[in-house]
Structure 1
């Protein structure tokens, strides 16, 4: 675990050193759990957005986009259940004065038991080698079976205390498990309390309850209140979807793990409107589709898994997370939720407006059900960054740090490097940049040796370096160096647009 923590620290340090993520307001000593995306970070972020938008909207005739306002009528959040039910169970350690989410403490405890099971499995693999049958081992080994039973019991009690909102029972569970504060190491806990996560603010100049509005804690409600407008103006037939990328805000008390959990973050959400009774079919469909989208990036299939929710949200009849293996363990990356008619039904009731769909096939009107896919853009960014970060020992004994970012997502697609700063090579390099910059974000660099320049480009994940040398002036060819293999090939300048275009195309991820 310490090794993974070291890797995570290096990823955070690398993100700052190479212009991906800066602490917000750093000249004023920063602001807790807020970060700014730097020059390379904003390019990577925009490319992730584009990949998602193309997969959701461009590739589906029946999914359209939306960009709703952050501020919404306050009754929106009453109808959505956020005023009454958008709470986190929090507990304080009296010695460290640190505050924790009670459910996360229990889940982290279960993760430690899971790690012990994996340790037993790894020992078995080492002992029996090729003859090892992992499935049989997990089904028969007494230690594994005991630990699985222990986890099942904890999971059952965690589900109960959450569903019944049994806060004393929650504290008792933490005490019974002997969970200690990660900072103080003590078990000196306060009671568990619920804390609403919405940021409230005043609209206009008059203070008072009537003027209180909220920064949206999710982007989904902007889609729901526009459902009928989009359906009518787009003449949409069920099933159809509305996709949106936008900022959301949660007053997280326990913001932690770099950009994984922040108070201001960005979501990529798609709400898919369907006929009631078909939700399980679409739930399975979108689980499969979304997992395909993730795995197409080539970050490692073993880094993903599904996790069914122990406690369903107040709006859901089925929910699963796609979890990603970050340096700090498997954590939620994307949620797929069957929201039933909870949202549209709530808005219909509170607004007094009919939010029905007239089905020409059955000649009936009904409130559609909704299937949601919701992914944290910042978490996706961190997944790409942490999975791409590599420290490599090269054959000549030297080392390099490289980001193996999927070429389609890389902040800079090509760096054009004149071998020397004279003899017309810089001018020729500029000509090449001028032909490529309409389609790709490119960099020109002439400072330092060619080797040092390669290393700098490796460190920001640039997939291709184009070197202009004296031969270029004679025959209009250049050397292309590929980032991951470091192999070089000689190609004609006239072919560069096609070659780079093919190799960094988003199309390769989408087909």
Structure 2
């Protein structure tokens, strides 16, 4: 489905180029492609899985290693069905759906309006865009679906396929996938594939607090799959039906939640900038319509080729989740705070903690990183009449998250150079993800590594056999540095260490 508010040439072309690049160079493949694929489901290839795992590991260590009061869990995908009644997902996890009667295409009604607002903003009408979003927020808060349809009509929003405004009524669509919880269908209770990872943290709140001896304020982090039956899943891996979340729920004393909300809001934005996402391509977007559990919410948005979209949400969830689980399970979800309240001179005592959530879409972060890294530049080579220009494409990935840290190239496939390259490979492979390539001219090998974002290429030549030095080529600048083999481990290790990112936080 095309986006009616996109600038139709540059942005669409750029995304198509990135999608094609991701497939050709082993980052992302359509799932089950030999059977013509499955809508909005994707597989990560050899380079993609390395990049995604590096991003996940970077997030995990930033949370659990840099913060002594954050620990992790790995909760099950299947949970007791009452979990989703307590959380509100069974009754209220819906998106407003609308169909165009001429094209037979289905859309999220709120997204149609948001895209119209984005069009106003792109045209310099920021106030008009803001007013439209505020109006939409009020309608959704009041569950006024008739009003949402009228808003679509008033704004003259048409189907991008048929070009008509022949719309059905807006109706709610529950996004959870359900299945049977028993091998015997007649005995099976309906259970759900989790639509978020947060509830696995909430139902384990006391288990974690007691076993890890945690004291409020503290956080629980988790990385895991979630599933949503999206009405319209599109824009490559931005919106999928099976996706991965990186969430941290931070439990705080009631009354301190807004202080922690502001702190985590700034902390998380700094993390994205340290990863290499430019500040100019990041922005905060406060929610006009708050979820039923929240008293404050903001998105960190990244400017994709298709516009600013959410990559992370920070929410002040109040005590909604723990209180709901306490009421439905009949088991107390309280924490005893022995610290002295300066106002009363007595311990704070028992209370249900408030929660501040940070939630990153791992797939969206992957896409933002890929889009930001995808670089096309024009090179000028030679002088005078021999001067010529050529296009160069490479992935300008931070070395710490690059799928491959270094590639080792023997200059020729003889004279003992492959054997020497193999020796260097064997010395470094326990420390880094590296490869060795012998085929093709060395220029082609450099180009191939540029296209997958490898930060360093190490050339082994005849001089190497004489003095134990190699030439290290740098991806971004294409500059070459001669150095001893003995210094490679430290040189590469310093560049690809997560410490380079953590130092900026």
2:364 to 352, 365, 379: 379
1:274 is displaced (CA, Å) by 0.3
1:401 is displaced (CA, Å) by 1.1
| RMSD of aligned Cα (Å) | 1.0
2:284 aligned with 1:301: no
Give distance in 2, aligned partners of 1:180 and 1:199: 30
Give distance in 1, aligned partners of 2:177 and 2:110: 22
For residue 304 of structure 2, what is the aligned residue in structure 1? 326
Give distance in 2, aligned partners of 1:335 and 1:152: 19
For residue 100 of structure 2, what is the aligned residue in structure 1? 93
2:166 aligned with 1:188: yes
SS of residue paired to 2:369: helix
Instruction: Point out the structure with the larger helix share.
Output: 1
2:338 aligned with 1:360: yes
2:295 to 309, 314, 317: 317
For residue 9 of structure 1, what is the aligned residue in structure 2? 16
SS of residue paired to 1:417: strand
In the TM superposition, 1:394-473 aligns within 5 A as 394-396=379-381, 397-473=389-465
Give distance in 2, aligned partners of 1:363 and 1:466: 61
Give distance in 1, aligned partners of 2:436 and 2:146: 62
For residue 199 of structure 2, what is the aligned residue in structure 1? 221
For residue 55 of structure 1, what is the aligned residue in structure 2? 62
For residue 485 of structure 1, what is the aligned residue in structure 2? 477
2:491 to 490, 493, 499: 499
Give CA-to-partner distance per residue, 1:1-51, whole Å, 9 cap, x none: 210110100000000000000000011111110000000000000000111
1:164 is displaced (CA, Å) by 0.6
Give distance in 1, aligned partners of 2:122 and 2:258: 32
1:194 is displaced (CA, Å) by 0.3
SS of residue paired to 2:173: strand
Cα distance 1:154–1:235, how it changes in 2: closer, same or farther (>3 A)? same
Give distance in 1, aligned partners of 2:109 and 2:15: 24
TM-score normalized with structure 1 length: 0.93
2:123 aligned with 1:116: yes
2:8 aligned with 1:23: no
Give distance in 1, aligned partners of 2:219 and 2:492: 34
Note the residue ranges of structure 2 that are not aligned, 5 or more in a row.
1-6, 340-346, 382-388
SS of residue paired to 2:285: strand
Give CA-to-partner distance per residue, 1:109-134, whole Å, 9 cap, x none: 000000110xxxxxxxxxxxxxxxxx
TM-score normalized with structure 2 length: 0.94
Which range moved further: 151-160 or 445-454? 151-160
Note the residue ranges of structure 1 that are not aligned, 5 or more in a row.
118-146
Which range moved further: 431-440 or 193-202? 431-440
1:150 is displaced (CA, Å) by 2.6
Give distance in 2, aligned partners of 1:344 and 1:182: 43
Which range moved further: 386-395 or 223-232? 386-395
